[in-house]
């Protein structure tokens, strides 16, 4: 067998394929075939080296899918949409809390008098996914200011005890439903080529648990600091196969918008007007001495 044949899959009857979103190590998802490879056998492994390839995790890519409906009650909702999209997708310094793990709860019952136990599975569940975003503050305290505003107007003012948006003339709903204050994000874990989603989670009912803590102090022996915020957004998670395919679709659209970053034009291709006329300065003097 050639090494590349390991990527073709073996197609066992009755076993899930990529259409069901499962990789059983049979090569069905362009991955290593668990039935092949001799990584820890102590024997010759060079002939099946592809099946010994490890999986290397890639950076999460977030896509803002939906925003709070309360944004539409403000004078410039597009600005709010843009701010939230930028904060979630491209300004986050780090994202954590995206955990994929299925656990099995078991109970033990005694067998005989020797201390032996019989274990039985009684429940299966998954670890809760709670996205945590981190930001470094920008000039003007824009990040802290945005989340302070978000909590005050959409979640609850600390003095009044209710969202201040409820006092707007445009607000006419009888009940303040969760979709008024929450948003939805698709978190995609790409493969190495960034053409396919290995994992994806659609996280909804997200809102911040704080606005970012700011501490001010005086210490003349040290320099200033750049505030960094860590905010947990919680939410309800969906990790189905259609969600993974949704992630693959979004990755394809992302690549088509930015095919080759090396071809991006120079952001400042011309000499500034104040410098353009200085013909007897710097490198302009070469071969052209001043009169």
User: How confident is the model over 124-139, as pLDDT tens digits?
Assistant: 999 999 999 999 999 9
Residues 10 and 96 in one domain: no
Residue 44: its pLDDT value, please?
59
Same domain (yes/no): 42, 148: no
Domain that holds residue 180: 61-100+129-263
Same-domain check for residues 217 and 177: yes
How many domains does one find in the chain? 2
Cα separations in angstroms, 142 against 6, 20, 84, 87, 211: 51, 44, 12, 10, 11
Tens digits of residue pLDDT in 193-204: 888 999 999 999
Q: What is the pLDDT of residues 151-168, one digit of tens each?
A: 999 999 999 999 999 999
As a whole number of angstroms, the distance between CA 218 and CA 262 comes to 45
In a shared domain, residues 85 and 228: yes
Q: pTM (2 decimals)?
A: 0.83
DSSP calls for 195-221 = SSEEEEEEEEEE--S-S--------TT
157 lies in the same domain as 70:
yes
Domain co-membership, 136 together with 78 = yes
Q: Note whether residue 155 is domain-resident.
A: yes
237 occurs within a structural domain: yes
The CA–CA distances, whole Å, from 125 to 24, 83, 120, 121 equal 20, 36, 15, 11
């Amino acid at each position: 067998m050639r090494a590349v044949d390991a990527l073709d899959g073996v197609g066992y009857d009755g076993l899930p394929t990529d259409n069901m979103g499962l990789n059983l190590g049979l090569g069905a998802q362009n991955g290593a075939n668990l039935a092949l490879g001799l990584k820890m056998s102590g024997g010759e492994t060079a002939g099946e080296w592809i099946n010994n390839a490890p999986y290397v995790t890639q950076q999460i890519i977030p896509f803002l899918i939906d925003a709070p409906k309360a944004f539409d009650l403000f004078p410039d909702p597009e600005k709010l949409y843009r701010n939230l999209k930028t904060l979630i997708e491209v300004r986050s310094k780090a994202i954590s809390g995206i955990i994929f793990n299925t656990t099995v709860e078991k109970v033990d019952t005694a067998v005989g008098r020797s201390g032996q136990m019989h274990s039985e599975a009684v429940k299966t569940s998954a670890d809760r996914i709670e996205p945590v975003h981190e930001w470094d503050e920008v000039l003007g305290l824009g990040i802290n200011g945005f989340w302070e505003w978000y909590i005050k107007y959409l979640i609850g003012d600390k003095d009044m005890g209710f969202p201040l948006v409820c006092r707007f003339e445009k607000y006419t709903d009888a009940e303040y439903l969760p979709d008024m204050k929450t948003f939805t994000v698709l978190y995609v874990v790409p493969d190495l080529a960034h053409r396919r989603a290995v994992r994806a989670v659609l996280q909804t009912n997200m809102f911040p648990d704080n606005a970012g803590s700011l501490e001010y102090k005086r210490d003349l022996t040290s320099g200033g600091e750049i505030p960094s915020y860590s905010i947990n957004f919680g939410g309800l998670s969906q990790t189905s196969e259609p969600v993974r395919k949704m992630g693959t679709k979004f990755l394809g659209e992302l690549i088509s918008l930015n095919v080759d970053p090396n071809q991006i034009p120079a952001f400042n291709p011309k000499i500034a007007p104040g410098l353009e006329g200085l013909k007897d300065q710097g490198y302009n003097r070469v071969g052209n001495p001043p009169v």
